[in-house]
């Protein structure tokens, strides 16, 4: 069946398309079922787009009108008769041809720059946001909960809480159980200090100079003593020292559960306090029987004790300035108690007891005890008997010559051990004392030694070979050194003295003449070897090493002054050690005060002192000892120091001292040093009196008798027999 469309004639079979039949006219497309009959609405032009469009239009100029083009003639359909065209109208002859309309130029017109054109281009301005229209939401409606959700949430919260408890339990029981156990133990236990017993101090023979005795410290629990503080203070105040009634009441009514009321209370005193408290409680209990319970008076409770040993000095003032004292806390304050505190004090122990909520010890509960370690005892080189005698004898001399103080030092020649170190004034550690009493002048006080220094000067010159017993000097009454005049202590003209005569007469001028032969650096070295300007090695607290000019480039006046004992300072132990060097054959023995250390088990450890060293030769020491023997002879300066049956070597000393108030020379120090037996020395004794103001001033007159008495006692106590040697005839003049 042939589909014919319009007026199209039927095609002939077998004819070529497009040859005999005209082509088919294109038909307009039919709208499909999917095409929408509505046009897509365009987006409304915004203010920003409109402004941008207007700006571009102003820049490009006016838009030309579009020229209408002649419509193209449609081809006539095939088979249709062509339409006749109307004849064109001819223009009248008398009319001029029509002018063509001018074509408007499309070039951009220049835009006048106005005030608005110079402003910021409008396209860069942010456009205001369109206001959103508020949408009114419908009100929320209460929705009923669902039981299943609530149950799941409840079980979730419970599971989380239980997991926290489980984690904490694992932490306590598995991860770190010890720390929490220790914290609980600390909370429920109370520590108690177990004081270590302090080591004792004894002399060379074991005589006790300082020991620790049993005593207690009284403590209080303010939570228990507060209601009865006044009654307890009335009992304690008269019996314990170092406190008052008001202080006791304040301590027993304060805060906390523990406080100290008194230290180092003797057991006898504590027993008396307990007896009075017991009697007072019995009276209170009797009175409470007739009173209602709410009106009953409280009992006297809340006082406790702990071990607090007290330091005792059985021999009182003997060697008190050497031994020293301890404070209320049991630690050393002065002397050897301070210097050897670490060894003497030991190490305290500690006990831990379980207590209840009120702080009371729980019977049969667990407790730990760390035992205290007792301190080490110290054995000194001092002899108590000789120390006592020396203290009494120097006290007599100080009082006799009205001196400010005095010191006696006794030294064993061969060992360097200090047999006595006596000072006056002194004090009794068992009685009240002041801080001024605690110093030890034998080591802490320095002064210019005077003519005793000549022993070291002569020994140095003899060792250098510059003098011997045959040396003779023409000694004038004075000598000038660097425009300063130095004289002897007595007026005289030129004298012919031997070197022994210079020592025996204690001539300053003769000593300077002899010392000028030695070079100053060599002389300074000898002085250091004798121990001047150097510590003694005793490590005694507060010790002064004296003063010696630094270096060895001294002026001549300094060397001259030092040669006869001025211009340097030393303490009494240093002077004794220097003289002991000559007595010991020229070998310096470091002084020694501590002999042994003895621990709690009785083990003895000797104290190691510094090594001795030779200063001068034995020959030089012997020559100087012979010169010193002439001092105690009848023609010497100290015949008062001679001892019957013994050959004694000695040397006097008289030197000016600086007055600390004025800073100038205004006081004097008189001294005497010697050793016996001179031919086989056993002991060296040195005596010094500071600022004697009564009697004739002089080392032989004031210090000689003290030396004689103390040396005689030492020789007799240690049974040193006389050697039988006679005083040698040594020429003093020529």
CA distances, 532 to each of 122, 218, 446, 461, 586 (Å): 105, 51, 11, 17, 15
Neighbouring-strand partners of residue 361: 355
Long-range contacts at 130-133 (CB < 8 A, ≥ 24 apart): none
Instruction: Walk across the sheet containing 189-194 and list its strands.
Output: 189-194, 349-354, 367-370
Q: Tokens in use for 105?
A: 């130029």
Alpha helices in 506-617 (DSSP H): 508-515, 520-529, 556-563, 572-583
pLDDT of 490: 86
Between these two residues, 329 and 230, which has the higher pLDDT value? Answer: 230
- Three-class SS state of 655: strand
**How confident is the prediction for the chain on average, in pLDDT?**
83
pLDDT for 523-579, tens place per residue? 999 999 999 999 999 999 999 999 999 988 999 999 999 999 999 999 999 999 999
Picking from 75, 687, 47, the residue whose alpha carbon sits closest to that of residue 394 is: 687
Considering 172-176, 288-292, 416-420, the range whose residues carry the highest mean pLDDT is 416-420
* Residue 148 pLDDT class (50, 70, 90 cuts): confident
Q: Can you tell me the distance from the alpha carbon of 651 to that of 456, in angstroms, rounded to the nearest whole number?
A: 11
Picking from 439, 425, 430, 423, the residue whose alpha carbon sits closest to that of residue 387 is: 423
**451 among known catalytic residues:** yes
Q: Can you tell me the distance from the alpha carbon of 622 to that of 514, in angstroms, rounded to the nearest whole number?
A: 18
Beta carbons within 8 Å of 330's beta carbon, 6+ residues apart: 195, 198, 264, 308, 309, 311, 345
Plot region of 96 (φ>0 → left; ψ -120 to 50 → alpha; else → beta): beta
CA distances, 129 to each of 123, 126, 555, 605 (Å): 15, 9, 105, 102
Whether 693 shows a pLDDT value over 60: the answer reads yes
Q: What is the mean pLDDT of residues 451-465?
A: 96
Delineate the domains of the chain, giving CATH numbers in brackets: 219-238+258-288+297-308 (no CATH), 386-718 (3.40.710.10)
Q: Can you tell me the distance from the alpha carbon of 85 to that of 82, in angstroms, rounded to the nearest whole number?
A: 9
Residues in the chain: 734
Which residue shows structure tokens 């002048």? 441
Q: What is the pTM of this model?
A: 0.72
Beta carbons within 8 Å of 673's beta carbon, 6+ residues apart: 452, 455, 575, 576, 579, 650, 651, 653, 684, 685, 686, 687, 707
The percent of residues above 90 in pLDDT, for the chain, comes to 53
- Three-class SS state of 368: strand
Catalytic residue among 451, 506, 507, 569: 451
Q: Can you tell me the distance from the alpha carbon of 365 to that of 653, in angstroms, rounded to the nearest whole number?
A: 73
């Amino acid at each position: 069946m042939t589909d014919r469309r319009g007026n199209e004639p039927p095609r002939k079979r077998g004819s070529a398309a497009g040859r005999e039949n005209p082509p088919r006219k294109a038909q307009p497309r039919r709208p499909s079922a999917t095409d929408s009959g509505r046009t897509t609405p365009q987006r409304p032009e915004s203010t920003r787009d409109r402004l941008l469009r207007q700006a571009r239009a102003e820049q490009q100029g006016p838009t030309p009108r579009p020229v209408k083009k002649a419509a193209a003639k449609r081809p006539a359909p095939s088979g249709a008769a062509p339409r006749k065209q109307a004849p064109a109208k001819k223009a009248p002859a008398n009319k001029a041809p029509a002018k063509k309309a001018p074509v408007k130029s499309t070039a951009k017109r220049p835009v006048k720059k106005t005030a608005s054109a110079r402003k910021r281009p409008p396209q860069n301005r942010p456009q205001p946001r369109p206001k959103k229209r508020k949408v009114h939401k419908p009100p929320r409606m209460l929705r009923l909960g669902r039981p299943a959700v609530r149950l799941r949430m409840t079980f979730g919260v419970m599971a989380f809480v239980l997991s926290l408890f489980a984690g904490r339990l694992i932490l306590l029981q598995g991860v770190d159980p010890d720390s929490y156990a220790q914290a609980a133990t600390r909370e429920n236990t109370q520590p108690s200090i177990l004081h270590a017993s302090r080591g004792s101090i004894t002399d060379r023979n074991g005589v006790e100079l300082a020991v620790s005795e049993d005593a207690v410290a009284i403590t209080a629990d303010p939570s228990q003593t507060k209601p009865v503080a006044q009654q307890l203070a009335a009992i304690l105040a008269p019996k314990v020292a170092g406190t008052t009634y008001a202080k006791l009441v304040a301590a027993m009514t304060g805060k906390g559960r523990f406080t100290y009321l008194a230290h180092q209370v003797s057991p006898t005193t504590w027993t008396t306090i307990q007896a009075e408290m017991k009697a007072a409680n019995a009276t209170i209990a009797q009175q409470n029987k007739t009173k209602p319970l709410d009106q009953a008076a409280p009992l006297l409770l809340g006082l406790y004790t702990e071990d607090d040993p007290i330091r005792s000095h059985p021999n009182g003032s003997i060697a008190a300035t050497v031994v020293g004292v301890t404070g209320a806390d049991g630690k050393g304050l002065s002397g050897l108690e301070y210097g050897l505190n670490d060894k003497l004090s030991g190490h305290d122990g500690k006990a831990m007891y379980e207590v209840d909520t009120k702080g009371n010890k729980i019977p049969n509960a667990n407790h730990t005890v760390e035992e205290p370690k007792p301190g080490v005892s110290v054995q000194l080189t001092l002899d108590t008997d000789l120390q006592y005698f020396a203290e009494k004898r120097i006290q007599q001399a100080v009082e006799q010559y009205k001196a400010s103080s005095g010191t006696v030092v006794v030294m064993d020649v061969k060992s360097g051990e200090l047999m006595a170190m006596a000072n006056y004034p002194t004090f009794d550690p068992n009685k009240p004392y002041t801080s001024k009493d605690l110093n030890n002048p034998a080591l802490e006080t320095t002064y210019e030694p005077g003519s005793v220094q000549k022993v070291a000067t002569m020994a140095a010159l003899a060792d250098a070979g510059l003098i011997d017993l045959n040396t003779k000097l023409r000694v004038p009454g004075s000598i000038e050194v660097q425009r300063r005049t130095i004289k002897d202590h007595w007026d005289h003209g030129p004298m012919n003295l031997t070197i022994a005569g210079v020592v025996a007469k204690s001539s300053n001028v003769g000593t300077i003449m002899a010392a000028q032969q030695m070079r100053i650096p060599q002389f300074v070295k000898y002085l250091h070897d004798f121990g001047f300007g150097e510590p003694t090695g005793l490590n005694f607290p507060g010790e002064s090493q004296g003063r010696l000019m630094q270096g060895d480039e001294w002026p001549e006046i300094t060397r001259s002054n030092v040669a006869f004992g001025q211009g340097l300072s030393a303490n009494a132990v240093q002077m004794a050690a220097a003289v002991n060097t000559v007595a010991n054959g020229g070998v310096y023995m470091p002084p020694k005060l501590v002999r042994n250390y003895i621990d709690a088990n009785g083990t003895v450890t000797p104290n190691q002192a510094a090594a001795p060293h030779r200063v001068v030769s034995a020959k030089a020491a012997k020559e100087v000892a012979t010169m010193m023997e002439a001092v105690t002879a009848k023609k010497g300066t100290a015949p008062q120091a001679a001892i019957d049956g013994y050959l004694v070597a000695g040397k006097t000393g008289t030197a000016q001292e600086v007055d600390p108030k004025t800073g100038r020379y205004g006081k004097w120090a008189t001294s005497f040093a010697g050793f016996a037996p001179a031919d086989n020395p056993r002991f060296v004794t040195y005596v010094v009196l500071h600022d004697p103001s009564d009697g004739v001033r002089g080392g032989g007159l004031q210090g000689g008798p003290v030396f004689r008495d103390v040396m005689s006692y030492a020789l007799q106590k240690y049974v040193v027999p006389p050697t039988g040697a006679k005083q040698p005839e040594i020429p003093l003049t020529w």
